[in-house]
Amino acid sequence: MISLLDIRTRIADGTLSAADSVRAARERIAARDARIGAVLRTAPEAAVPDTGPLAGIAVGIKDIIDTADMATECGSAIHAGWRPRADAAIVSRLRALGAVPLAKTATTAFAGLDPAATVNPHDPDHTPGGSSSGSAASVAAGMLPLALGTQTGGSVIRPAAFCGVAAIKPSFRLLPTVGVKTFSWALDTVGLFGASVADIAHALALIADRPGIETAAPERPRLALCLQDFAGSPDADALVALERTARAAERAGASVRDLVLPEPFARAWAAHPTVQDFEARQALAWEYAEHRDALPPVLRGQLDRAQDLSAADYDGARREAHRARRLLKELFSDVDAILTVSSVGRAPHGLGSTGDARFNRLWTLMGVPCVNVPVPGDGLPLGVQVIARFGDDGRALAVARAIEGALASA
Amino acid sequence: MISLLDIRTRIADGTLSAADSVRAARERIAARDARIGAVLRTAPEAAVPDTGPLAGIAVGIKDIIDTADMATECGSAIHAGWRPRADAAIVSRLRALGAVPLAKTATTAFAGLDPAATVNPHDPDHTPGGSSSGSAASVAAGMLPLALGTQTGGSVIRPAAFCGVAAIKPSFRLLPTVGVKTFSWALDTVGLFGASVADIAHALALIADRPGIETAAPERPRLALCLQDFAGSPDADALVALERTARAAERAGASVRDLVLPEPFARAWAAHPTVQDFEARQALAWEYAEHRDALPPVLRGQLDRAQDLSAADYDGARREAHRARRLLKELFSDVDAILTVSSVGRAPHGLGSTGDARFNRLWTLMGVPCVNVPVPGDGLPLGVQVIARFGDDGRALAVARAIEGALASA
């Protein structure tokens, strides 16, 4: 993979130019993407900024995020060829930092569950996960050092785990979603994919203009190991990887205790789809009313069922979320981070499904920062998920970095 | 003015067809708007639905709200001629109810403070208020029975007060903002303008699919009369109108006590512009980066200054808002509604300013429902503002309806 920090170091010491770095990204896409299908289109050739803290960084932009210089098709024929007038806020922010939003990356239709055409760079017979399929795969395949995705259920952490890349779903609304096609406004969160935790911490600190995100460093992290029983069991090798991570963290100085999430979290977990689908019904009302037949089957069925949700269902689901959020705040009073699996297991075989978000969706509903840390090993990638309290993205990243280091030296 | 409920009654009893009702709206626009400048463009002629609970209702859509069949220009040459791919969620919802989104109504540029070209229907030498200038004026001039606006500071309640129409800024996110050009995602709220409180209650109950909004009815409303001293003094005649309203409400059976908002509300009020401008800097980042010179002067200056706001400023402002929200919830434990002025006074002379939102912005930041009730009298209109607790839009409307009735019979 291509490290953002490595590129920046080489640019700083004069051994690489920003323009050459971006050109190299174009060449890697041209050489590698035919077999992966992560990149839908690239920006027209243009002058590459040579100043700014992210100069020379080519970024993949999930294709539900507006770009003024490239079509934004939301993974659907309904929006084929669509050119937004303006860049999304997050794209403008990248440009202001000197980065080049170089490529639009494949998304499942409207960031739903119907698969995109992308394959897993580690094995083309396996899904890369979704909905941010192309963003995760483009980083995993070493084409881009940074990519933007979004998560409503598990659409950042799951593909990151399946593709073996570092990723963060930040605290809710840490990054602006203006200009991002909405699925659920209470859940949709812009996230980052990169080659390492340090890379995404550096990028997030700059994009959010919060230097503390990169410098936070709890000395001996207090970790709570958590299984989310209400979501069912992960695969055996995911549990082994989680356990191995916990032991490596302990050896590196962390304390680890078990955490069983009390009942209100199970109820919040169960409430997530109601919040999501009640809002999706409104957010995608035009597509459903005018182009229902052109919607892919899983999303169409989901929206069909969502027509029956009532405002009372939605209010009830939001109340469950509020209760669990209050409780989670208390849980974090003596815990730096929760450690749990990033996904059910390795990327499933076949391209007919993007996998399951059941170990992610509670945390999206809670709005808390989640980081995927790849767990080194044989076969397709596995990841662990590091979760911190709302607003403390720096702590989540610091703990994740410590874990990444502990795993590397284990 | 044209009453939505009256149209619906006539359609129900067979004395008016939906198509004739919409045709009449087109004719009123053609006859009256030349001197007012509220309507920017109308939808292409198309079949008018004759079923649905809002069939026959022609609606004005503020021109920062996306429409697939009409340009959406955000009051700015930067977006001139822009045709969104999809309708905004709220527009799709109107269509699903049988309504006809007939006209795009004038907005100040990006819903900021630089005036639109609309004049006050009561006196063309006076501002109609902003930023939902055309929506308020089109209802006030009897062209349309219903119009959509948005409020970030006071952009629904202020123009409603200046134009003498009923309006509600509902609870935050009661109505979806998907497809609405963002100024501040924590504040922007879609609101409704109509000829009477009963009209907007009926429309809101249908659009939000919450019948209780229309049927709530506290028997003897407990009102708290509140001056917002931290925002300065209203004009003398606004105070007289407020006092007159309180006495009329008492005669109609309400209890009225004085309320002095404690210090945290003053701090929240002062924090509003920080939340707003920190988010506007991101939401309008593309326009600022690519087209700064084409921005109107007040907005340009506002965004210039917003570049200096820090994440810490924003976090601090949000904390003030949270504190005040918690306190407000307690205040509402024995109060049905707060009664305060809707604006500093009558619409100011001249078209160089849209007036001042200082009596509105606290309530937008609190996310609570606010209703403007016109106070009958001589000269340009005045309004009082009825405010209920978060999520209880039905109570705000029920109290407002009672007050409207009390004023009419006073």
Q: Per residue in A362-400, pLDDT tens?
A: 999 999 999 999 999 999 999 999 999 999 999 999 999
Please give the domain boundaries of chain A with CATH numbers for all domains.
4-215 (3.90.1300.10)
Which tens digit of pLDDT belongs to each residue from B168-210?
999 999 999 999 999 999 999 999 999 999 999 999 999 999 9
Nearest by CB to B79, which of A85, A93, A289?
A: A85
Which tens digit of pLDDT belongs to each residue from A124-166?
999 999 999 999 999 999 999 999 999 999 999 999 999 999 9
Decide if A289 touches B, using CB distance below 8 A.
yes
Nearest-CA distance from A128 to chain B in Å? 29
Characterize the bridge pairing of strands B382-387 and B337-341.
antiparallel
User: How many of the other CB atoms lie within 10 Å of CB of A379?
Assistant: 9
User: Does A89 sit within 8 Å of B285, measured CB to CB?
Assistant: yes
Task: Give the residue on A whose Cα is nearest the Cα of B86.
Answer: A286
Interatomic CA distance for residues A250 and A339, integer angstroms: 12
Query: What number is the average pLDDT over the span B272-285?
Result: 98
Decide if A87 touches B, using CB distance below 8 A.
yes
Which tens digit of pLDDT belongs to each residue from B395-410?
999 999 999 999 999 7
Cα B278 from chain centroid (whole Å):
22
Whole-number pLDDT of residue B219: 83
Catalytic residue (choose from A131, A133, A184, A196): A131
**Amino acid at site B384:** V
Chain B residues whose beta carbon lies within 8 Å of the beta carbon of residue A189: none
Nearest-CA distance from B237 to chain A in Å? 41
Interatomic CA distance for residues B388 and B335, integer angstroms: 8
Whole-number pLDDT of residue A117: 97
Whole-number pLDDT of residue B15: 98
Nearest-CA distance from A207 to chain B in Å? 11
User: Does A85 sit within 8 Å of B85, measured CB to CB?
Assistant: no
pLDDT of residue B155 exceeding 90: yes
Mind listing the pLDDT tens digit of every residue in chain A (410 residues)? 999 999 999 999 999 999 999 999 999 999 999 999 999 999 999 999 999 999 999 999 999 999 999 999 999 999 999 999 999 999 999 999 999 999 999 999 999 999 999 999 999 999 999 999 999 999 999 999 999 999 999 999 999 999 999 999 999 999 999 999 999 999 999 999 999 999 999 999 999 999 999 998 878 999 999 999 999 999 999 999 999 999 999 999 999 999 999 999 999 999 999 999 999 999 999 999 999 999 999 999 999 999 999 999 999 999 999 999 999 999 999 999 999 999 999 999 999 999 999 999 999 999 999 999 999 999 999 999 999 999 999 999 999 999 999 999 87
Decide if B95 touches A, using CB distance below 8 A.
yes
Catalytic residues of B, which ones? 62, 131, 155
Decide if B222 touches A, using CB distance below 8 A.
no
Q: Catalytic site residue A131?
A: yes
Q: Catalytic site residue A155?
A: yes
Whole-number pLDDT of residue A217: 80
Q: Is the bond preceding A131 in cis, omega lying within 30 degrees of 0? A: yes
pLDDT of residue B126 exceeding 80: yes
Whole-number pLDDT of residue B82: 97
Chain B residues whose beta carbon lies within 8 Å of the beta carbon of residue A79: 85
User: Does B173 sit within 8 Å of A282, measured CB to CB?
Assistant: no
Decide if B68 touches A, using CB distance below 8 A.
yes
pLDDT of residue B12 exceeding 80: yes
Q: Cβ distance A40 to A104 under 8 Å?
A: yes
Decide if B215 touches A, using CB distance below 8 A.
no
Q: Alpha carbon of A178 to those of A71, A188, B108, B359, B396: distances in Å?
A: 17, 11, 20, 28, 30
Q: Cβ distance A216 to A398 under 8 Å?
A: yes
A·B CB contacts under 8 A: 77
pLDDT of residue B156 exceeding 90: yes
Query: What number is the average pLDDT over the span B360-389?
Result: 98
H/E segment holding residue A298: helix A297-306
Interatomic CA distance for residues B76 and B80, integer angstroms: 6
Whole-number pLDDT of residue B216: 82
pLDDT band of residue B304 (cuts 50, 70, 90) is: very high
SS3 label, residue A92:
helix
Chain A residues whose beta carbon lies within 8 Å of the beta carbon of residue B88: 286
Decide if B244 touches A, using CB distance below 8 A.
no
Query: What number is the average pLDDT over the span B209-223?
Result: 92
One DSSP character per residue, A325-384 reads: HHHHHHHGGG-SEEEEESSSSSPPBBSS-----TTTHHHHHHT--EEEEEE--SSS-EEE
Chain B residues whose beta carbon lies within 8 Å of the beta carbon of residue A310: 209
Q: Which residues lie below 8 Å from residue A354, measured CB to CB, with a gap of 6+?
A: A108, A113, A115, A116, A127, A128, A129, A130, A131, A133, A158, A159
pLDDT of residue B217 exceeding 90: no
Chain B residues whose beta carbon lies within 8 Å of the beta carbon of residue A285: 87, 89, 92-93, 96
Interatomic CA distance for residues A94 and A86, integer angstroms: 14
Decide if A46 touches B, using CB distance below 8 A.
no
Decide if A390 touches B, using CB distance below 8 A.
no
Phi then psi for residue B368, to 5 deg, are -90, 155
Q: Cβ distance B390 to B329 under 8 Å?
A: yes
User: Does A85 sit within 8 Å of B82, measured CB to CB?
Assistant: yes
Interatomic CA distance for residues B287 and B297, integer angstroms: 13
